[in-house]
Amino acid sequence: MKILFTSTVFLLMSCLGVAKNEQNQSKEIYTPSQETKVAYFASGCFWCVEAIFESVKGVEEAVSGYAGGHTKNPTYESTGRGDTGHAETVAVYYNPKVVSFETLVKVYYGSHVPTTVNGQHPDYGSQYRSIAFYSNEQEKSIINNMIAKLNKEVYNGKVATEVQKFTKFYKAEEYHQDFEKRNPNQPYVKAVSIPRLNRFKKKFPELLKENEK
């Protein structure tokens, strides 16, 4: 009975434990402009990561999905089993005239623990690993320079983030999009996602959109 109770609590408090009926209205259709750029980051449960980036000035949209794996058309279930090699990833659509890629990397490292291998508490597994994706050599250099700085000044050489060339992003199932915003009373959201977002907001108030302050 104790084992069953512990397992139930873990599922309620983990990103993997959600049921598909935990959803509300459909998300509005977003159309990027010609100036819009896209960056891709993985740092734990994508519900949390999506909400953090959507709070940042210059970010037009954040979409939850899967990247960094070796199979086509991954799903939430197959990614969660570790069958695909993918990580829960967020595509960040941003206006480079308002926010730079370098600032997005700052947001990324300021909103998760990059020394944790394969996980962000309370979610563990390869699908929750830390990956910063780059699309060109300039972005790769920005990421690597940040890692070098953090390894020297903060984490004593223990940053575990993978730095990967971006290849393919698969959008996650619709019920995952804007999950935190649409399900504020879901147990995981209340216990993990919202506190993580609030910690970020407190740390970087100057980066927030006016309606997020």
What positions carry a catalytic annotation?
45
Write 189-196 long-range contacts (CB < 8 A, 24+). 189/47, 191/13, 192/13, 192/15, 192/45, 192/48, 192/122, 193/45, 193/47, 193/48, 193/51, 196/48, 196/52, 196/111
The residues facing 64 across adjacent strands are 90
**Residue 189 CB neighbour total at 10 angstroms:** 24
Burial of 151 (0-12, 13-18, 19+ CB in 10 A): middle
For the chain, the helix, strand and coil percentages under 3-state DSSP, each to the nearest 5: 40, 20, 40
- Give the dihedral sign, CA 149/155/158/163: negative
Cβ(95)–Cβ(50) under 8 Å?
A: no
Alpha carbon of residue 8 to chain centroid: 24
5 DSSP 8-state letter? H
